Amino acid sequence: MLSLFSSYFRKFKVLLIEKIKRIFIFNINQKLFSEIYMYNLPYHNEKDKEVVLQFIHQHPFAFLTGCSEKDEPVATQVPVFIEEREDKLFLTGHIMRKTDHHKVFEKNPNVLAVFTSPHTYVSATWYSNSHQASTWNYMSVHVKGLLRFLDEEGLINVLKKTTLHFENGNSQSTTIFDNLSKDYINRLINAIVAFEIEVTAIDNVFKLSQDRDEESYHNIIEKLEEQGSDGKYIAEEMRKRSSQLFNDKDSTRDSKFEL
């Protein structure tokens, strides 16, 4: 009788331990999901579409990513332009031919372009209540779209626009497209290809301590202004938003664009 009871007890103990483990793992996963999700909070989104588009103009060097038919990721970094035509947004740029990403983009046009700015560490010791985790402030825009490659005329137009823009409109510069030799241009055109991305979705995270109280917010700005260029950049972006943030507490709509 005692041995039978011991056998039942051991089975019950095993089942109980498994049940506790499942509950523990579930809670851990829920916590992880919550921590990931909270970075998409409405107050970290920029509501003004023009501000987001201006951010892209100011930070044109994008991470352009895609995925092969074998689910292998590819990426490159290229300067791009964003423009609006017939109520649609387009990104244009150029890449080297015969690269891994060129081959992937030919077969799978679904791409993601990521635009970022300077970013910085924010210490919790700068908060009015410092007994909590520190964080990172940053600004990022994600643009999804469908990529198609352009013909030679399209490539020439992209190269003219790119060289003139980054030479600050200086038509006398020896490096703009119109001042390059024909031989050089012919070699160049054979090595690169232009693309256009029709934008299907834009999202952003402008994480600038919008969830902090006013005292902490302004103290973070002061501390960042004592840092290097990255910290000063974020401090300036925070200062731009200070009056609106603390005068309009309900201004927290989502910022995904309707395209």
Q: Which runs of consecutive H residues, i.e. helices, occur in 79-203?
A: 100-107, 152-166, 182-191
Per-residue pLDDT of the chain (259 residues; tens, 9 = 90+): 545 445 554 554 445 445 444 433 334 333 333 333 335 678 899 989 999 999 999 999 999 999 999 999 999 999 999 999 999 999 999 999 999 999 999 999 999 999 999 999 999 999 999 999 999 999 999 999 999 999 999 999 999 999 999 999 999 999 999 999 999 999 999 999 999 999 999 999 999 999 999 999 999 999 999 998 999 999 999 999 999 888 865 444 444 445 5
Contact 123, 223 (CB under 8 A): yes
Q: Which residues contact 19 (CB under 8 A, 6 or more apart)?
A: none
Q: Is 132 helix (H, G, I), strand (E, B) or coil?
A: coil
Query: What is the pLDDT at residue 134?
Result: 96
Query: What is the pLDDT at residue 173?
Result: 97
Domains of the chain, residue spans: 1-40, 43-247
Contact 51, 204 (CB under 8 A): no
Contact 143, 199 (CB under 8 A): yes
Contact 235, 224 (CB under 8 A): yes
Query: What is the pLDDT at residue 42?
Result: 87
Q: What pairs with residue 65 in β-bridges? A: 75, 112
Q: What pairs with residue 207 in β-bridges? A: 138
Q: Note the CATH number of domain 43-247.
A: 2.30.110.10
How far is the C-alpha of 100 from the C-alpha of 98, rounded, in Å?
Answer: 7
Query: What is the pLDDT at residue 63?
Result: 98
DSSP character for 148?
E
E-only strand ranges, 27-117: 61-67, 73-79, 81-85, 88-96, 110-116
